[in-house]
Amino acid sequence: MHDFPYEVIPEGQVLCADMSSNFCTTKINWDKYGFVYAGAQKNVGPAGVCMGFVRKELLGRHMRKDTPMLLDWKTFANAPQTF
């Protein structure tokens, strides 16, 4: 598949993608995605490193009150990033 068929996404749904295999190898239309994650070991960094890219309007919008802190993207967006 050379291009994602964006027209198949139902209206109001957020598109999430695993781009471990093509991150930094192709141009990405970031406007189409709500969340993109990638295992960096293939293209960008050492084994075990992973990255997540979240649209700002999705931060803090988890649907459940009992969402663990480690799964709350806003927690990580506000924390200093380290390696």
Domain of residue 37, residue span: 6-77
How do the pLDDT tens digits run along the chain, 83 residues long? 567 777 788 888 888 988 888 777 778 888 889 999 888 776 677 777 888 889 988 888 776 788 888 788 888 888 877 76
Domain count, the chain: 1
CA dihedral 68, 55, 39, 81 (to 10 degrees): -70
Query: Residue 83 domain-assigned?
Result: no
Give how far Cα 26 sits from Cα of 23, 43, 51, 77, Å.
Answer: 7, 12, 16, 25
Q: Is residue 34 a contact partner of residue 55, using CB atoms and an 8 Å limit?
A: yes
pTM beyond cutoff 0.85: no
Query: Residue 48 domain-assigned?
Result: yes
